Structure 1
Amino acid sequence: MKRLVALALLLLAGLTGAAAAAIETPFFAERVATGKLPAIDQRLPEQPRVLDMQSMGRIPGKPGGTWRMLMGDQRDLRMVTLYSYARLVVFDEKLQLVPDILESFEDQDDKVFTFHLRKGHKWSDGQPFTAEDFRYYWEDVALNPKLSPTGPNVALLANGQKPKFEIIDPETIRFTWDTPNPAFLPSLAASQPVYIFMPAHYLKQFNPRYAGKDDLAKKIKDAHVKDWSALHERMSRQYRPENPELPTLEPWRNTTPPPADFFVFERNPFYHRVDENGRQLPYIDKIAMMLGTTNLIPAKVASGEADLQARYINFEDYTFLKHAEQANNYQVELWQQGYGARAALMPNLNAADPIWRKILRDVRFRRALSLGINRRDINRVLFFGLARESGNTVLPESPLYKQSYADAYTNYDPAEANRLLDLVGLDKRDGEGFRLLPDGRRADIVIETAENDTVDTDILELVGDDFAKLGIRIFNHPSQRDAFRQRIFSGQVIMSMAEGLDNAVPTEKFEPDALAPSAESQFQWSRWGLYFESGGSQGEAVDMPEPQHLLDLLHDWRHSTSDAQRKTIWDEMLSINADQVYTIGIVNGTQQPVVVDGNMRNVPKSALFSFEPGSFFGIYMPDTFWYDVKSE
C-alpha cells in the first residue's frame, strides 16, 4: 500500500498553501535596507509552510518582543530546540505525522521514503538547504567510523541493514530498505530527533576529506581538542546549539558562545513558516535564557522574571505562584503531565549484588511492593486528590489505554504483600521486626533519586511508612544526575525512582521500545539495554524469558506491515509490563504549572505537558506565540 502525503491532503489539513504577499519583519528592516539581508520574498522558500491561525483556533499575531526563560545550566540550551519543534516531519495535535521542513513526503509500505524539500529553502546563514546536506550526513558522518564508531543510528537500520540512499535531484532524496522500517518517520519527528541532514557547506571545513591539512590542524589546536573528529562533533551539535556559527533551520538561532550565564537567541531570517497574512514566523523576535540556581527559579518566576515557564517549577509551587499573579501580570495554568507515572520505583534487575538481583527478579517481590503502597493517601496528601492512582502505563488519552493496565497490582493490600514477601524467602525478621535477606543482612532498600526533588522526597517518605508496615526500611539517596545515572549503569543501585514512560499517549505508530530492554537509560534493566544498544559489545545479554519476549515483540513491531499488527504487539507488551511490574508506578495525570505572561497570546490554557510526543510546548507551535505589548 502506498501512502502519499500530497498537496491536496495538506491543503485540507490547513498545513500549507498560498500565503498572502510576504510582509517584511520589522526586526530585519534595517538589515534589508542596508543590504545585509535580502528582502523577505527572497528569504522564504518558494512554497513556505503556511499556518492558518484562525483554522487552528489561534489569533494571527504581530512580530516583536523577547521571550524570557529561566534555566539551570548550559545543557538547557537544548530546551530551545525542544520548544521550537521544527523537524523534517512533525506530529500535529492529533498525533498525525505531517511535513514541516519537508514540502511533502511519500511512504511506500514503510520501505521506500521519498522526501521533497522546499525549493529555495535556506539555512539561517542564507546558504541553500539541499540534498547535499543529506548526502554529507549519510556519507561523511553516518558511514564514517571516526564520527559514528557504532555505525548509523538504529532508526536508519531495518533488520540490521542500512538503507540505499539516493539523490533524485537537488530537492528530492530517497531512502530504501528491503524490509519495513516503521520507526523511521517517527524518529525524525521525535522531541530529540534523529538528524539525517547537516549544513554541509559549514561543516566541510572540519572534515579532512574537504579541508586543507594545515588549516584544519590550526582549527584543532585553537579548539584544544585531540583530533578532527572531536572538533567536528563539537561544532556540529544541532540538538544542543552551543555553536553560534552553526547554521540552523530552527525558528531561533543562538547568538551567544558558551560559557555564559545569559544566552540570546534571535529569530532566523530564513525560517520556512509564515501565517496566512504573509508574516514570517516566529512572531517573537528573541529568546533570552538566564541560567541560575534551579531552586530559586520558582521565586524568580513569581517576581515576574519569566514570560513562559514550566521547567523547574512543580505542583507544590502552584499556590505560591498564584498569589503573585495579579501583581506581576501573569497567569498560572495547569497542564496535565504526560508521563506514564509522576514517580515510579525502578527495581534494578541488573543489580550487581547477587542476593538482591535474585530477589528483584522475582515477580512476587515486585508485586508485593506495589501492593504495599497506599496510593490513595499519597494522592490526597501530596496532590489534593487530583492525580490518578495508577501503574506506570499509557494514559487514558492514548487509544492503547486499558483500565486493567493502570489497575494491575495497584490496590492497597498489605496482607497480600506480606504473604508474597514471605514466599519470596524474606520470612525471617530481626528483633525490631524488619525482614532479613537470606544471607542475614537486613533487607533495607536504598532508593536513589536524581538531585533533591522535594516532591520525590515527600513521596518516598509516605512510601517508607507503607513499606515499614511490611518489615522493610527504605532510605532516600539523592545525587547529582550524572552520578545517579552512572551508579545505576554500574549496577550499584538496588532501586531508583524517576518518572515513568516518557510517551504515555502513544498510538500504534510509535515504536514500543520503552517497553523492552532496549536502552541503557532504562533504569530497571540498564545493562540489558546497553547490550541491545551496542549490538552485544557492551552490557549483559538478557537472561530472563519475559524480557526476552519483549525484545522479540519489539523486533516484530519493527518488521510489521500494518497498523493492526502494531496494535496487537503494543497490547501484548503493555500487558506483560503491567503483569510483571518491571516498574512500580505510583500516580500519573499530575498537574504541571505553566506560567504565562499576561501579554502573551496563543498559549493553550490547558494541554498535555509531555516530552514525547510533542516536545513540551513544541507541538503547540511557540513560533505562533506573540505579545500584545512587546516584551524587551
Structure 2
Amino acid sequence: MPAFAYQQAPSLDAQVKAGTLPSVEKRLPQDPLVVTPFQSVGQYGGTLDLVGLWGDNGHRMRILGNNNLFSFNHTYTDVVPSLATGYEANAEATEYTIFLRKGMKWSDGSDFSAHDIVYYVNDVLGDPNHAGNRPLFFKSHDAARAEAINAHTVKISLKEPNGLFIRQLAGVDGSNMAAFNKAYCSQFQPQFNADVEKLVKADGFSSWREYYEVKCPAHYFTPFYANADRPTMAPWVVETPPSANAPFAEYVRNPYYWQVDTAGNQLPYIDSVKWTFSENKEEMLLRAVAGKTDFQARHIDNAANRPLIFGNAEKSGYKVMLRPETRMNVLVIAFNQNAKDPVKRELFANKDFRIAMSHAIDRWDISETLFAGAVEPYQAAPLEASPFFSEEFAKQYTEFDLKKANQMLDKLGLTKRDKDGFRLMSNGERIRVEALSTTLVKPETRDALEMVKKHWQEVGVMLDIRIVDRSLQNSMRFANDYDVIPWYGDGGVGIIDEARWYMPFSPESTFGLGWYNWSATPDADSAVEPPAAVKKQIDLYNQIRITADKSKQNELMQQIIDIAEDNFYAIGTVNGLPSTVIVNEKLRNVPEGMPESYNLMTPAPMRVGQLWFDKK
C-alpha cells in the first residue's frame, strides 16, 4: 500500500502539525497488518464504555491484548500472522526463525525489533532465578535461547522439540513474547543498570526483583495495565490506571499502532476504552442492562441473567449476540485417581465406579431445572465443531438409570450402608466425596453440582460440597489434597491446546495430577507412575510436540481421544448455552459466531481496533 494512502485519526492532526508527532506514514511499519473489516470501513472517534471489576486483568487482556507474534483467526480454526509475517522451522522442530514486520514502533515511538524478543527470552526468562511468570512452553530458564539475525528477524532455539510452538505463540501465554521493551524494562535489572538499587530504595521496594515485577510484569498482572511509562504494542495505552480506589480506568489511542484497514486508515477507530468499576458482578449486570456498556460478555453471562439481558435490550439501546462455547460442559466431575487416601484411590480408579456414578446423574433434570430444557446430556467429550467429535463418546453413560447404578455399585462390593443409607467403603467408612468448589464458577455450575449431590444420595454416595476461594482451591490442588474439583468442560474445541479432561495434560487435569507430575518430572515427590494407557497418551502427545505436520498432529491427537473415551476419566453433565454478548446498537464490525475461549482471548483476535460507532 503506498504511503500517501495512509490516514490517521483527526484527533492526532494537531500534534502532527505542531511537529510533536511524526506523520502517519512514519509511524506505521513498512508492511502494516491490513485488517479487512467485518462490515465496513469505519469512522474515527468515541469511547468504548465497559463495566468491570478493578482487579480483573482477564477482561483487560481480552480487549487490549493479543498483540502476539502470531494470532488465531477469529473462528479459532487457524493460526495467522500478527506482529510477525511468517516463520521457518527446521525438520526437528527445535529452531524457529521468525520474521517481524519492518519498521514497527512501540507506543513511545521507539523501534520494536528482534532485540526486544531476544531480551525477553534470554535476559528475563533465561534468568534461573526469575521470580515472575514463565510461559508453559518455556518451563525452565534453559528451555530456549534467542538470537537476533537482524532487526526484524529472530531465531529461537528450543532445548526440546516443539511442533506446537507457533500455535502456542498465538495463545494467551504467547502475548508476553512481544510485551517486554528492552530499553525500558532492562533499566530495572542490575546487569543493565548499575544504579538500579537506588531506584529500588527510592520507590520503597526491598529488592530489584520485587521492583521489576511491578514495573515489567507479564500481562496477567495488574501493574502491566497500570504503568503509563511502559511502552506497549496495544491499540490503546493507559491514561488513567486501574486501582482499588479508582472509579474507572481509561486507555487512549496508541498513535504508533501497527494495523490499518483496507482503505489505509490507521487503527484503532475508537479514541479510548473506559472501564467503569463495580463492587461486584451483580452491580456489573445492572449497569450492563441499563446500557452502560458497549460491548460486554465478561461476568454477566450466565443462564439466570438471560431474561434480564434480553428483556432490557430495546429499552437500553443494545442488541444481544451469541458466541459459541468452546467449553463442552457446564460441569465436569473428575474423581482424583491419585488421591492420597489409598481406599479412595482404588475406588476412584475403578472405571465401573465412575460409570455407575455417571448413570446416577439425572441430566435432563439439570437441563429442565436450570436451562428450561435448552441443553442436552453430554459427557466430557469433544464438541461437534471439533474434528475429534464422536457421538459415542459424547453420549456414553449419560442415561439416567438408578437401577443400573445401584447394581454396578453392589457388584463392586459396596453393599453395606450406614444408618443414613450411605454406602460404606472397604475400610468401613462412608463413601464421602468432597467436592472442592469455589464462588468463582458460574451460578449454574454451582447449582448443577447441588443437583448432582441429590442424585447421588439416591444411590448411597455422599457428595460433600465445600466452597473455598480460588487461591485455597489451587493450593489444595497442588498439594493433591482433594477428591473432586468440579469445573467447566474446557476443551470442547481447540483440543490440542486444551486437553485437560482427555489426558494428564496440565496441572488442571485433576483426575490425575500425579500422572501429570510424572510426565513432567518422573522423580518428583508428587509424581505418580501412570498405568499403561496413560503412558501411551503421554507418549503420543510427546510425538505431537516433535512434529510440525498438522495432519500428523491430528492423527496422534485422535489416538489420545480414543484412549480417553475408552478409559472415561471424567464425568460430564450437560452441554452449555452459547455465550450472550451485549452490543451497543451503534457499534459496528462485531463478528458473528466468534467462539468464547480463554486461550483464544475472545474477543481480541477479531482485531478490536476495527470497532467503530455509527453516529447516524
**TM-score scaled to structure 1, two decimals?**
0.88
Residues 300-309 or 470-479, more deviating: 470-479
Distance 1:456 1:365 in 2: 23
Aligned to 1:10: none
AA paired with 2:86?
S
CA contact (8 A) 1:19 1:276 kept: no
Shift of 1:479: 2.1
Q: 1:407 aligns with which of 389, 392, 395?
A: 395
Aligned to 1:279: 265
Aligned to 2:193: 211
AA paired with 1:399?
P
Distance 1:301 1:505 in 2: 29
| Residue 480 in structure 1 maps to residue 469 in structure 2 | yes
Aligned to 1:625: 611
The number of residues matched between the two structures is 603
Distance 2:100 2:311 in 1: 49
1:599-628 deviation line (CA, Å, top 9, x unaligned): 11111344322223x212123222211111
1:412-436 deviation line (CA, Å, top 9, x unaligned): 2322222222233322112332211
Shift of 1:278: 1.5
CA contact (8 A) 1:157 1:163 kept: no
Shift of 1:164: 5.7
CA contact (8 A) 2:500 2:508 kept: no
Distance 1:129 1:143, change over 3 A: same
Distance 1:161 1:207 in 2: 19
Shift of 1:73: 4.0
AA paired with 1:559?
I
Aligned to 2:213: 233
AA paired with 2:212?
H
Distance 1:357 1:224, change over 3 A: farther
Shift of 1:589: 4.0
Residues 547-556 or 314-323, more deviating: 547-556
Distance 1:609 1:566, change over 3 A: same
| Residue 81 in structure 1 maps to residue 69 in structure 2 | no
Q: 1:141 aligns with which of 100, 124, 138?
A: 124
Aligned to 2:453: 464
Distance 1:545 1:161 in 2: 31
Distance 1:538 1:236, change over 3 A: farther
SS in 2 for 1:301: helix
Aligned to 1:585: 572
Shift of 1:538: 5.8
Distance 2:370 2:209 in 1: 49
| Residue 190 in structure 1 maps to residue 175 in structure 2 | no
Shift of 1:486: 1.8
1:214-613 matches, within 5 Å, as: 216-240=196-220, 241-242=224-225, 243-260=227-244, 261=246, 262-292=248-278, 293-313=280-300, 314-451=302-439, 453-501=442-490, 503-506=491-494, 510=497, 512=499, 515-530=502-517, 532-533=519-520, 536-537=523-524, 539-560=526-547, 562-612=549-599
Distance 1:271 1:43 in 2: 8
Residues 421-430 or 123-132, more deviating: 421-430
Distance 1:521 1:245, change over 3 A: farther
Shift of 1:188: 0.5
Q: 2:47 aligns with which of 66, 86, 91?
A: 66
AA paired with 1:227?
S
Aligned to 1:12: none
Distance 1:385 1:253, change over 3 A: same
Shift of 1:52: 2.5
Shift of 1:551: 1.7
CA contact (8 A) 1:426 1:435 kept: yes
CA contact (8 A) 1:449 1:478 kept: yes
AA paired with 1:296?
E
SS in 1 for 2:573: strand
Distance 1:432 1:507 in 2: 42
CA contact (8 A) 1:51 1:276 kept: yes
Shift of 1:127: 0.8
SS in 2 for 1:603: coil
Aligned to 2:32: 48
SS in 1 for 2:50: strand
Distance 2:473 2:495 in 1: 31
Shift of 1:535: 7.1
Aligned to 2:20: 36
AA paired with 1:603?
V
Stretches of structure 2 lacking an aligned partner (at least 5 in a row): none
Distance 2:142 2:183 in 1: 29
AA paired with 2:199?
K
AA paired with 1:275?
D
Distance 1:87 1:493 in 2: 36
SS in 2 for 1:23: coil
Aligned to 2:11: 27
Identity of aligned residues (%): 27
Distance 1:588 1:207, change over 3 A: same
Distance 1:394 1:334 in 2: 20
| Residue 616 in structure 1 maps to residue 602 in structure 2 | yes
Shift of 1:400: 1.8
CA contact (8 A) 1:23 1:40 kept: yes
Stretches of structure 1 lacking an aligned partner (at least 5 in a row): 1-16
Q: 2:79 aligns with which of 93, 97, 100?
A: 97
Distance 1:147 1:400 in 2: 38
Distance 2:520 2:29 in 1: 38
AA paired with 2:124?
V
Distance 1:535 1:142, change over 3 A: farther
Residues 290-299 or 531-540, more deviating: 531-540
Aligned to 1:123: 106
Q: RMSD of the alignment, in Å? A: 2.7
Distance 2:50 2:111 in 1: 31
Aligned to 1:5: none
Distance 2:254 2:502 in 1: 38
Distance 2:562 2:206 in 1: 49
Shift of 1:148: 6.4
1:194-253 deviation line (CA, Å, top 9, x unaligned): 63342101011111111023xx11222244443222222332224132333221112122
Aligned to 1:9: none
Distance 1:491 1:564 in 2: 36
Distance 1:200 1:415, change over 3 A: same
CA contact (8 A) 2:68 2:175 kept: no
Aligned to 1:106: 88
Distance 1:284 1:597 in 2: 14
Distance 1:133 1:455, change over 3 A: same
CA contact (8 A) 1:335 1:591 kept: yes
Shift of 1:161: 7.9
1:275-316 deviation line (CA, Å, top 9, x unaligned): 011211122221112332123221221112211111112122
Distance 1:345 1:223, change over 3 A: farther
Residues 260-269 or 524-533, more deviating: 524-533
Distance 2:439 2:122 in 1: 41
Distance 1:384 1:18, change over 3 A: farther
Shift of 1:180: 4.3
Distance 2:36 2:138 in 1: 34
1:55-105 deviation line (CA, Å, top 9, x unaligned): xx421111222222222341x224222334221111114522211111332
1:317-345 deviation line (CA, Å, top 9, x unaligned): 11111121121101122322211312111
